[in-house]
Amino acid sequence: MIRVGLVGCGWWAAHAHVPAIDAHPDAALVAASDPDRERLATVTAGSPQARGFATVEEMLAVSDLDVMVVASPAAFHAGAARAGLLSDVSVLVEKPFTLRASDAHELVRLATSRRLGLSVSLPYQYTAAARTLRTLLAEGTIGDLVGVHAVFESYAAPLYTGDVDEYLRRVNRPHALAPLPGTYADAAVAGGGHGQSQTSHVVSAILDATGAMPERIAAESVFVSPGMDTANAISLRLSGTAVATVFSSGGALPGLPAQQTVTYLGTAGSARHDLAGATLDWATPDGAGGHVEPGAGESDYPNGAPVSTLIDAVARVRAGHSDEQLMQLTAGAERAARAVEVIERLYREDAGRD
């Protein structure tokens, strides 16, 4: 049995991670930590084996964990993940991975040197469309990449002013345990607004798909209060031959569904990834091409996949197989760390001057 611990017993832990851990045949939630005792009790109510702790350090000291999920607010991700890795626990960190790229890269080095799994909870990267896109780009099916352009709209704007109820209304996701307003609206805890909460998704998706390094970064943002942005425009020079632009905004309204598309233009074809619909379409000049969409029963946003995939990889090592899958997840975290470089730069470029 893979012993899983949880750091941060909030909305997303209750909605995504705990159901996935409960559904996994080889895993059990055995420990959880949160400074808020009520939230701790609510999220662990259905997990009789789970012991509750106020801090991650207390939890790690006595729990003998194999996997730890960090789902606390962004400012606490790096410290909790480091504590887990130093206790020889494989770690899944919620997005945004960390607020500083130096922390993200240090965590990747730590996991790599200890042969541990480190993964970032980015569900858009766990669909058949995302997997096919990675293969297409790696095999050069659309030639050399020339340009990438992304539009990433979401309904998250109310979160950046602390109006959690309006956000949950817009996404039609009533939930017994709502996010705490400060998790998204307090710049000291969230590290910023839309750039941290949502643009991190699309920048990670591009860097994961292409495997590219962000070599030059320029950005402009729209701020609703100091340090709290609600829209970002990013221009990137990627390693290799390509340039990329990203427009990302939390201002979508339910009347017109949010557009979340990334288009990859190559010297011998193009591919379009619809993140919201989890589809991929591609075409080459000789008439080849294809379409990928979620199969029957597959979710277009597989939010339980990051934790179940990490549990599977840890279980394989436990069963005597090589740690290749585990280290592939850690390699993915290295690509996610490059996205932190972009988001960190975004806030340095435009720190709320309007």
Ligand X SMILES: NC(=O)c1ccc[n+]([C@@H]2O[C@H](COP(=O)([O-])OP(=O)(O)OC[C@H]3O[C@@H](n4cnc5c(N)ncnc54)[C@H](O)[C@@H]3O)[C@@H](O)[C@H]2O)c1
Which residues form the interface with ligand X (CB under 6 A)?
A: 7-13, 33-36, 39, 56, 71-74, 76, 94-95, 121, 123, 179-180, 183, 197, 303
Residue 142 vs 337, nearer CB to ligand X: 337
Edge-first strand order for the sheet with 289-292 is: 214-225, 228-238, 243-249, 145-153, 260-266, 269-274, 279-283, 289-292
Residue 117 vs 266, nearer CB to ligand X: 117
DSSP string, 236-275: EEESSS-EEEEEEES---TTSPPPEEEEEEETTEEEEEET
Q: In this chain, which residue has its C-beta nearest to ligand X?
A: 10
Residue 33 vs 308, nearer CB to ligand X: 33
* Nearest one of 333, 307, 310 to 103, comparing CA atoms: 333
CB 23 to ligand X: min, Å: 17
Residue 168 vs 317, nearer CB to ligand X: 168
CB 152 to ligand X: min, Å: 13
- Tokens 């990675």: give the residue: 134
Residue 141 vs 232, nearer CB to ligand X: 232
CB 268 to ligand X: min, Å: 34
Bond into 73 cis (ω within 30): no
CB 260 to ligand X: min, Å: 12
CB 220 to ligand X: min, Å: 23
Please tell me the distance from the alpha carbon of residue 162 to that of residue 246, in angstroms, as a whole number.
25
Please tell me the distance from the alpha carbon of residue 306 to that of residue 21, in angstroms, as a whole number.
10
